[in-house]
């Protein structure tokens, strides 16, 4: 599939888009708005950013009536919390059941979401990747079946921001890629709590709804080991293992078929689109916006779609 305004070769090199109005190259806004966007906000006529009747006005637009509505820096409402292990950021939720420990791996931001460069540009791409992770973690912490979120990352800014939201953070000590990071996170959780139910969750789910995540985790609780395929039906956005079962992550590329071959049960659920909608490309971001994204992603998209200042023509004398 070609990205509008770029050849396949240029897109593969992640060429930064030209934003000047005096060229024929489409802006990131044009890339995001290809095709109908059912509930995505439109650009206001005065160029004031995004506006829509479905936007919730707090600290940035949530682009769907059911999108998370808390403001950046504000923790979602949650049940009683306590601290264990002597670590201030080990926040544990009291639930009616054992609850889930979610593992969220995150690359250093300078390396994350490189396939979004043609859409977001090199300057905004890292902040967009951070916004995805913040909205994902916020929604996960608001899910009543989640007792803990452990982020595995070496990025100091991401670690600081996600800790402030209530997640625990551990460095990616193996430094050998996604699956090694998840294995390290699983070991960390189960060393502290051998009876924990553990699930790996992608960090790029900016449209994630706590209620939809709860449906997926409830279904996963009825299987010893299970997974949810991504929206494309090729990869995986969630892999879950009950107490006593190894997670055995095999993420990356065609992970759906690998997880299926490993004996994990695929969760075939309707109405959980926000848990399936990971974002790697401009098309993925457009689809996430149509579902409705969290406030941090919405704020970054507002910057991305802000009209560029016109460039004065040479020799105009103005």
Distance CA 131, CA 97 (A): 30
Residue 172: which residues within 8 A CB-CB, separation 6 or more?
105, 152, 153, 154, 181, 184
Distance CA 78, CA 86 (A): 21
Q: Is 252 annotated as a binding residue?
A: yes
The answer to whether 138 and 68 are in contact (CB under 8 A) is yes
Q: Write out the two tokens for 138.
A: 């916020």
Q: Is 236 annotated as a binding residue?
A: yes
Please state at what angle helix 295-305 crosses helix 117-141, rounded to 10 degrees: 160
The answer to whether 25 and 311 are in contact (CB under 8 A) is no
The DSSP H or E segment spanning 199 is strand 197-201
Distance CA 301, CA 295 (A): 10
The answer to whether 302 and 60 are in contact (CB under 8 A) is yes
Q: Is 127 annotated as a binding residue?
A: no
Q: Write out the two tokens for 145.
A: 């079946």
Cα diameter, the chain: 74
Q: In this structure, what are the phi and psi dihedrals at residue 103, rounded to the nearest 5 degrees?
A: -105, 125
Residues tagged in the binding site annotation for phosphoenolpyruvate: 236, 252, 255
Residues annotated within a binding site = 236, 252, 255
């Amino acid at each position: 599939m070609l990205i509008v305004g770029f050849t396949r070769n240029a897109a593969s090199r992640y060429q930064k888009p030209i934003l000047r109005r005096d060229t024929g190259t489409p802006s990131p806004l044009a890339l995001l708005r290809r095709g109908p966007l059912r509930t995505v906000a439109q650009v206001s006529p005065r160029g004031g950013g995004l506006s829509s009747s479905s936007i919730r006005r707090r600290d940035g637009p949530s682009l769907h009536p059911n999108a998370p509505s808390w403001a950046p820096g504000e923790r979602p409402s949650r049940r009683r919390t306590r601290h264990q292990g002597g670590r201030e950021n080990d926040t544990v939720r009291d639930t009616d059941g054992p609850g889930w420990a979610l593992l969220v791996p995150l690359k250093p931001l300078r390396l994350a979401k490189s396939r979004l460069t043609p859409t977001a540009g090199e300057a905004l791409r890292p902040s967009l990747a951070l916004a995805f992770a913040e909205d994902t973690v916020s929604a996960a912490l608001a899910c009543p079946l989640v007792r803990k979120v452990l982020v595995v990352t070496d990025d100091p800014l991401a670690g600081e921001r996600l800790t402030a939201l209530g997640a625990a953070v551990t460095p990616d000590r193996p430094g050998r890629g996604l699956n090694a990071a998840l294995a390290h996170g699983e070991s960390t959780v189960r060393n502290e709590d051998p009876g924990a139910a553990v699930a790996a969750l992608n960090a790029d789910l900016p449209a994630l709804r706590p209620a939809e995540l709860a449906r997926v985790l409830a279904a996963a609780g009825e299987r010893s080991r299970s997974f949810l395929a991504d929206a494309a039906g090729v990869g995986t956005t969630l892999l879950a293992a009950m107490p006593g079962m190894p997670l055995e992550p095999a993420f990356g590329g065609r992970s759906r078929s690998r997880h299926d071959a490993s004996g994990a049960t695929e969760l075939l659920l309707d109405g959980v689109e926000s848990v399936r909608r990971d974002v790697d490309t401009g098309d993925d971001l457009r689809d996430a916006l149509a579902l409705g994204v969290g406030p941090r992603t919405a704020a970054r998209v507002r910057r991305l779609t802000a009209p560029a200042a016109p460039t004065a023509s040479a020799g105009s004398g103005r």
